[in-house]
Structure 1
Amino acid sequence: MAEKDKQAYALANGYTRSNDHESAEATFQYEEELKRQKRRKLFMYIIGTFFVFQIIVITLFALTVMKVKTPGLKLGNIDVQNLNFTSQTPPSFEMTFTTQIRIKNANFGPYKYDSSYVTFLYQGMTLVQVTIPKGKAGGRLTTKIGATVILNSKALPRVSNLGSDLDSGVLKLSSQAKISGKVVLMFVMKKKKSAEMNCTIEVNLATKRVQALECK
């Protein structure tokens, strides 16, 4: 009888220890699963943050570096070297001046442009054309092309009101130009862009100086 009690006691204690072991194992597995879930969530959070950061960088890059802007084209200061005129019949004028043709490239990549010319006019009639040689304006730089311009009224028709304009003391001229080329980005991306210029020039005949220069 005592033997049976011992066996029963042993079986009861063994069963209890087995339950405790299984309970501990389940708890351990549950905690490990929680850790794995936390690690997965952290990993997904890092990946998501990385992709959001990449999207922001790409967007900023596209809006700044990759955005192609139209280059600027204008005349620099005009320095009159020589000026002769008469309002008597037949009225006429001759003028020599120096200036700069400025090509401003606001893009990060270079702007490669073809040869062209600047036309100087009086009342819409061509006086002379100055060549713009083929060239390149570096990224975020302005190319300055020096030019000496010689104007005279020989090509103007006699019916123009040049005499009265000269009597007013101010000679009004204009200049126009257009250049075409390509902006190169990242050494491979090329975007065609053209720049245009329309300038008005007012020459004070008394001082023989340019009193106004406006380019659009």
Structure 2
Amino acid sequence: MADPESQTMRLAPAGERSDEQPFTNTAIFTKPKYQESSKCLVYVLAAVVFHGTIFLIFGSVFLRVNNPKLRLSTVSIRNFEHANTNSTSLNITMSAEVTVKNENFGRYDFDNCNAVILYGNSTIGGGDIPGGRVGARNTKPISVTMQIRSENLNFSGSGSDGTGLMEIISYAKMTGRVHVLKIVDRRKTIEMNCTMNLNLTSRSISDSICS
């Protein structure tokens, strides 16, 4: 007679263990390679745009070259000789200071030039401005001696209003080169055009205006 316990015992199918966990089909998600490459391309383009913007800002601010400015700042008379007979003769020595203002981010090397003094259409004097160098974002003062020597000048010595004023012009043209970071080397020519009044009565200079 069969054992009762054997009748109630279930046998597992061949090749299958009863203590094994049931099989679950779980897929592992991986990013496609084309998404990673597209992100790298975006990063590269962003870096190119960023560096390009920085270069444009740097170039527009630091590499831009403006014209320096040449101005007559002060004038004083050291010697004054004035003879007024039928015509006017002048022998005047003036001490002047001109300034070269450089607003660029690089030095300005300039050559020597000549400043002339004009009365009407006649050249009545002048002086030499020596060459030199002015640093970046700097202003250089230059001392200049100017002479006015003229004979038989068509001027009565009193002026139309009796004040004895002669309107004279001091003009100069200076040539040089602006050097910025060994990248930019540009030739720049600047001009000085200053109008002033020479007072033959008080022997002084007044109302100097430069443009």
Same fold by TM-score greater than 0.5: yes
1:10 to 2, 16, 20: 16
How many angstroms does 1:46 deviate by? 5.3
Indicate conservation of the 8 Å contact 2:89/2:149, yes or no.
Answer: yes
Indicate conservation of the 8 Å contact 1:98/1:146, yes or no.
Answer: yes
Q: In the alignment, what sits opposite 2:96?
A: 99
Q: In the alignment, what sits opposite 2:191?
A: 196
Structure-2 separation of matches of 1:46 and 1:53: 10
Q: Decide which structure has greater helix share.
A: 1
Structure-2 separation of matches of 1:162 and 1:52: 71
Structure-2 separation of matches of 1:205 and 1:127: 15
Structure-2 separation of matches of 1:128 and 1:84: 14
Indicate conservation of the 8 Å contact 2:126/2:147, yes or no.
Answer: no
Q: In the alignment, what sits opposite 1:122?
A: 119
The AA in structure 1 aligned to 2:52 is: I
Structure-2 separation of matches of 1:113 and 1:104: 12
Counting matched residue pairs gives 203
Alpha-carbon distance change, 119 to 16 in structure 1, aligned in 2, over 3 angstroms:
same
1:165 to 153, 159, 169: 159
The AA in structure 2 aligned to 1:174 is: I
Worse overlay, 204-213 or 8-17:
8-17
Give runs of aligned pairs for residues 1-216 of structure 1, distance below 5 A: 6-7=12-13, 10=16, 16-17=22-23, 20=24, 22-23=25-26, 26=27, 29-30=28-29, 32-33=30-31, 41=39, 47-154=44-151, 157=152, 160-165=154-159, 167-216=162-211
- TM-score normalized by structure 2? 0.79
How many angstroms does 1:12 deviate by? 10
The AA in structure 2 aligned to 1:77 is: T
Residue segments in structure 2 that go unaligned for 5+ positions in a row? 1-7
How many angstroms does 1:194 deviate by? 0.7
The AA in structure 1 aligned to 2:31 is: E
- TM-score normalized by structure 1? 0.77
Worse overlay, 107-116 or 52-61:
52-61
Alpha-carbon distance change, 12 to 85 in structure 1, aligned in 2, over 3 angstroms:
farther
How many angstroms does 1:213 deviate by? 0.5
Structure-2 separation of matches of 1:66 and 1:92: 51
How many angstroms does 1:14 deviate by? 7.2
- Bigger CA radius of gyration: 2
Residue segments in structure 1 that go unaligned for 5+ positions in a row? none
Structure-2 separation of matches of 1:151 and 1:126: 9
Q: Decide which structure has greater strand share.
A: 2
Alpha-carbon distance change, 15 to 104 in structure 1, aligned in 2, over 3 angstroms:
same
Indicate conservation of the 8 Å contact 1:87/1:164, yes or no.
Answer: no
RMSD: 3.5
